[in-house]
A and B are shown apart, each in its own frame.
Chain A
């Protein structure tokens, strides 16, 4: 039978159509995910604003009135996980970088607020600043990420603020300048104003900042006993 060239062309167009559908569906879901992250981010922004307003009132009110801090931590963590996942899986989507920049600003704002609350009300939350790089294959950064996730699960009152060193953001540049973070010494951690560079295990971070244990004591005294005996 002679080849029907028209058929080859028609099938080519159908196949291209199917691939375009696959691409379209992928974009549709990517957009939905970006929208979901935007929604979280907007809520987070409102919550931080609310916390700031609450803090402004603190001089007149008791420190016990500080509510919603835990929710804020959870929202920050959720957004961090989603942005990190999207960075890996929605490569080439410009919205992700934009979200990440905005998220970093929110982190800085929340960090400053946490510091103020801590000064005013005594240590309530322990902030950890974590600087990593995506410009190169940084295995130590990946490992440090696992450690900080585990720490976050262990101590809910721990506030981990992660920053991509390579993100083009003036506020972040200022933060890098203040803490003298160098790209050759990543990952870098600022644990309660103490700077350490390179990879650190859970135990090393716990030793570095005894306040972490106190946070655990506050959260779950029974578990702490077990932890301390270990």
Chain B
């Protein structure tokens, strides 16, 4: 067996192991998963502050703030702090329309990065709960109430929502929608394992006291939402996931934008994992160190290996074809009779291992959709997701790993500047 095949089976085994682990968790806990389609009434409504950090978001910030103002939550209990992080566009002018709204506080500062905007918001927050909503996202009117119900458990210190891609318009966004739907399932299973590794920027809600214990947000390689979650695990704080708290976000519409976003996320993951390596394989931290973080590393290494594997296969194929063309000329129909004979279908074990892996991925996605929409939906975007991510993911992973090795930090503001230029 070649080294390539040994590595292929090793990574496949680990990937199947991770997916089976999640599936077993699903079967153990499936009765605890519920979604609420009707409006709910809480016995008491604790104070909540939502911080909206903005940088060059003149086109989308009102959508975000209006959706927050539309939340089914008592107005005197909900504060919105908009922090303009030194935008170069008209964000500050646009948000002036809320200056007379008693629920809204407007703050402006020099550009310092998202974490500084969040920390300024935290300084002005006085409520029991705080959250953040990236200014390219909007929320379902019932989302906050649904999240707050999870805090009935006093051990729960943060609740992550379900993020859905808003109005997908192109192949890339449909692929992202499928990816996000799968992430709901993964996140919920990690919540059952108490091993969630990220409290997403869009609408994760925290008990404010944790910031008093752990300190404010950190720069954290522009992925402060990952760092805060890992820090919470270090302190033994529990993170939950509310599947029916829907948050809608605009997924990057072009390959370069998606590429930048993913490089930032994965770079951040690698660096944060490096910063929190103390969590790794330490049973006292539960599943975060024994399962979630190792799974993330396996996924990065496995996907990169997949690229090398595919390039190697492609190289061998092309070399064979070139050699053949040099000798007898190029004839695409030369081996048609061979291709049509089922005998020549490759039935080696790696075909079946790949099928098992893809089935597990599709099952994850269907479970994610069932959790969110109440029913399993098998649609064509699943295949778009598999195709698009198989092609693109290895490249942003390689770039992120490259950046992590040579410490080239990607920028949150650069993503926004880039969007601005495109607009």
Contacts and interface: CB of A to CB of B under 8 A. Distances in A.
Interface of A: 1-3, 7-8, 10-12, 14-15, 18-19, 21-23, 25-26, 29-30, 33, 36, 81-82, 85, 89-91, 139, 142-143, 146-147, 149-150, 153, 201-202
Contacts of A19: 9, 13, 16, 349, 353
B20 A146 contact: no
Given A12-B17, A15-B17, A81-B338, A23 B24 contact: no
B327 A2 contact: no
Contact of A30 (B16, B283, B347): B347
* Interface residues of chain B: helix, strand, loop or mixed (majority): helix
Interface in B381-406: none
B351 A26 contact: yes
A36 B344 CA distance: 12
B265 interface: no
Interface in B3-36: 9, 13, 16-17, 20-21, 24
Nearest to A13: B20
B348 interface: yes
B324 interface: yes
B423 interface: no
Contact of B347 (A8, A25, A82): A25
B194 A1 contact: yes
Contacts of B283: 2-3
Interface in B189-203: 193-195
A25 B352 contact: yes
B290 interface: yes
B287 interface: yes
A18 B20 contact: yes
A1 B24 contact: no
B17 A22 contact: no
Interface of B: 1, 9, 13, 16-17, 20-21, 24, 193-195, 283, 286-287, 290-291, 320, 323-324, 326-328, 334, 338, 343-344, 346-349, 351-353, 355-356
The residue among A7, A15, A25, A33 with the most chain B CB atoms within 10 A of its own CB is: A15
Contacts of A153: 334
Contacts of A15: 13, 16-17, 20
Nearest to B12: A19
A142 B319 CA distance: 12
Contacts of B351: 26
17 contacts: A1-B193, A2-B286, A7-B21, A14-B24, A18-B356, A19-B9, A21-B352, A22-B356, A30-B347, A89-B346, A142-B320, A142-B323, A146-B328, A147-B327, A147-B328, A149-B334, A153-B334
Given A36-B343, A146-B324, A3 B290 contact: yes
Nearest to B14: A15
Given A18-B16, A30-B347, A81-B338, 18 more contacts: A1-B195, A1-B287, A3-B286, A8-B21, A14-B20, A15-B16, A18-B20, A19-B353, A22-B353, A25-B349, A25-B352, A26-B347, A26-B349, A33-B347, A36-B343, A82-B343, A143-B326, A143-B327
Contact of A146 (B21, B323, B343, B356): B323
Contacts of A147: 327-328
Contacts, number: 87
Nearest to A92: B1
A35 B90 CA distance: 74
Contacts of A146: 323-324, 327-328
Contact of B352 (A3, A26, A36): A26
Contacts of A23: 349, 352
Contact of B349 (A14, A22, A149): A22
A33 B353 CA distance: 20
Contacts of A21: 352, 356
A18 B326 CA distance: 43
B14 to A, nearest CB: 9
Given A14-B24, A26-B349, A3 B16 contact: no
Given A18-B356, A19-B353, A1 B286 contact: yes
Pick the 8 closest A-B CB pairs, nearest first.
A29-B347, A22-B352, A1-B194, A150-B328, A26-B349, A15-B17, A1-B286, A146-B327
Nearest to A22: B352
Contacts of B195: 1
Contacts of B352: 21-23, 25-26
A25 B352 CA distance: 8
A202 B24 CA distance: 60
A176 to B, nearest CB: 25
A36 B342 CA distance: 11
B343 A33 contact: yes
Contacts of B347: 25-26, 29-30, 33
A33 B344 CA distance: 9
A7 B286 CA distance: 13
Contacts of B326: 143
B17 A3 contact: no
A105 B273 CA distance: 62
The residue among B20, B21, B286, B349 with the most chain A CB atoms within 10 A of its own CB is: B349
A18 B354 CA distance: 11
Contacts of A150: 327-328, 334
A202 B328 contact: yes
A29 to B, nearest CB: 4
Contacts of B323: 139, 142-143, 146
Contacts of B353: 19, 22
Contacts of A139: 323
A81 B337 CA distance: 11
B24 to A, nearest CB: 6
